[in-house]
């Protein structure tokens, strides 16, 4: 039911409201950032994706920082393995849990998601493929049942002929 999920995500008012809320928060973060140095976790996750046969490595690690003796965390996705133990983070003064190493990039990404129709197109393609598969399976089942019925009729006719009926 992936097609339905993608399609309803596109039309979902609650999803759009969440996205609008995130855009507003990140716009505020871009306008009024407070900068702090965060410590990177020494453990990072490396993932290799193959796109068109070319391997692309992505990295993910957590970071930690303190504001008013309160600890906050976030996720950092560098383009290469982390080589320094600290990075600069921007956070919202009114809510330090809203933080990012690159809020401008995240804001642009959120705005692109807001106007993107890709989830609609993916959903429609998946729905079409699913409908096609259901039709093919239904047709195959009907053909098999028809063949079984014809075989049964032939068997009955053969039996009747052999008995002289």
Instruction: Band the pLDDT of 128: cuts 50, 70, 90.
Output: confident
pLDDT score of 10 more than 80: no
Q: Which residues contact 154 (CB under 8 A, 6 or more apart)?
A: none
Decide if 48 contacts 55 (C-beta within 8 A).
yes
pTM above 0.85, yes or no: no
User: Angle of helix 13-31 relative to helix 103-115, nearest 10 degrees?
Assistant: 150
Q: How confident is the model at residue 121 (pLDDT cuts 50, 70, 90)?
A: confident
Domain ranges of the chain: 2-116
7 vs 42: which has the higher pLDDT: 42
């Amino acid at each position: 039911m992936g097609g339905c999920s993608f399609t309803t995500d596109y039309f979902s008012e609650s999803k759009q409201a969440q996205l609008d809320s995130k855009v507003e928060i990140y716009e505020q973060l871009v306008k009024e950032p407070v900068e702090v140095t965060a410590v990177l976790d020494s453990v990072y996750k490396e993932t290799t994706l193959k796109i068109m046969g070319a391997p692309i490595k992505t990295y993910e690690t957590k970071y930690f920082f303190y504001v008013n003796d309160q600890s906050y965390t976030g996720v950092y996705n560098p383009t290469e393995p982390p080589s320094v133990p600290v990075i600069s983070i921007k956070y919202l003064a009114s809510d330090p849990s809203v933080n990012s190493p690159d809020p401008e990039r995240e804001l642009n990404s959120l705005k692109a998601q807001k106007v993107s129709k890709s989830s609609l197109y993916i959903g429609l393609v998946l729905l079409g493929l699913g409908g096609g598969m259901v039709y093919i399976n239904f047709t195959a089942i009907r053909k098999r049942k028809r063949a079984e019925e014809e075989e049964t009729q032939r068997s009955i006719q053969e039996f009747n002929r052999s008995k002289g009926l």
